Structure 1
Amino acid sequence: MRPETGRVLLTGAGPGAVDLMTVRAMRAVQGAQALLYDALVPEEILALAPAACLRIQTGKRAGRASMKQETINRLMLRLARRGLAVVRLKGGDPSVFGRSGEERAFLEAHGVEVEVIPGVTAASAAAAQFGFPLTHRGEARRVAFATARVQDGSVVEGGWSALADPQTTVAPYMARDAAGPAAARLMAEGRSGATPALAIQNAGRPQARLVPTTLAGLGEATAQAAFDGPVLLVVGEAAAQARGYGAAAPARRSASARS
């Protein structure tokens, strides 16, 4: 007799520290029978899964080989149809550049029940870790999460004009190789080169690195940092409140003089 179809939990692991997971996410991993996890999920989180849990690493790391999305979709479907409790574990929040919409639509179209379990996203983790707000009265009325994906050396077209407002904190994700082009596009849309900016590697983890700079200096500062992990950028006046931002004050004055 065919087993009852299982369900899939699209689960946010948060920024990487196990104690920043939600209780619901932790319980999902602890009860998983099949765990499909992204490359950036650390071992301390994977260790929460039962010993008998089937673990499959799906990749999804910028600039490196990874499993195709279609393959991941089919794999989740196959495991769910075997009656297993499937956890699709993603870094950060599944709904923030996590393709949760695509995966949910595919699974539900094939009759599989899906639940999304949110997680702490990288920008929130970075703000808490380094002591700056994403919004701030009089300086930042809104925050915009954006992708800094690059095509042929240039950032993707479209959407940049919406980020030109000086009271918008812009947080480009997946930005290690796109800091320079992204900064150039923001300045082309009218953002001042003197705007405070941060490049943050491994936000939310003990080994996180913060590089404070300005929008005009963001590309060079990120390149000199030689990051080898996931990088988040934060651009906006509120970024100047980050601990350690004072080190970038001379660069900010210089950029201000040029603008």
Structure 2
Amino acid sequence: MPLKEIKNQFPGRTLYSIHGQVKRIKTDPDWARDPTVFDWTAKEDEQMRKLMDDGISPLTCYQRFPGRSLGSVRRRMTKKQRDQDMVALLQEQQEPQKQRQQLFKKSPGVQSMTKLILGDNRHEGKQIAICSVQLTSRSRRMRLWTPEEDETLKKFAASHKDLSELWPKIQKAYISDGKVDGVKFVRTGLSSKKRLEQLKNDSRRRAGPWDVDEIKRLEQAIQEQIGDKPQVIADVRRDVGTISVKTAGQSKTPRLKAGQRVRWHPLIQ
């Protein structure tokens, strides 16, 4: 069954999202076993931090998190390490600023060299730099739209006959206090424009993690697509070297090197 026919069974899901789920189900047995686990919890993050402080390898950490794939553990460790490096860099950059504040701590109301020189006038360059950090923040660019934000955007669009006047207002609010017409809304004008087009073109579009029922129906569709034809599904991982090979009605195990193991995918067992 082609992906376009599978898409008809999942109204609201994009073809790109379905393709990603099919690839994940076929190549990540760990994820397929426990599809209800998505976001990392605070308890898991705390345990991950302790393991990283102790210098534990990713493969050993992977064994401490049942239900998590090795790739997921590696990505989480990389993110945690990147966050730690960023905090250290910011602390290093703020150290000269702290030293300057010590020089002017005896002067009431003086908190920085810029304010000492310009007085009450705001330094536009500093404001632009702050806005630049906000606009380029990965967490702000990648955050999914919530149903509440969708409804707010629809109300904004309904209250403006000319939408070209709405996008600058949203953009201005995004880089300042985050409010449009008194309503909290932190999105860029371009992102809001694209989102409104998506809502108009496909009102049934869904976003976010797939639920268990959707995954089961997708697995059934994949099984129908495989049929009786000989299929080879290989899960090759550089870290543990796992290889899975199986044909219809006949299993075949390749010659494995030291440290390698075979893991069959649940869909073709």
TM-score by length of 1: 0.25
Higher helix fraction (1 or 2)? 2
Larger Rg: 2
TM-score by length of 2: 0.24
Greater RCO (Cα-Cα under 8 Å, separation 6 or more): 2
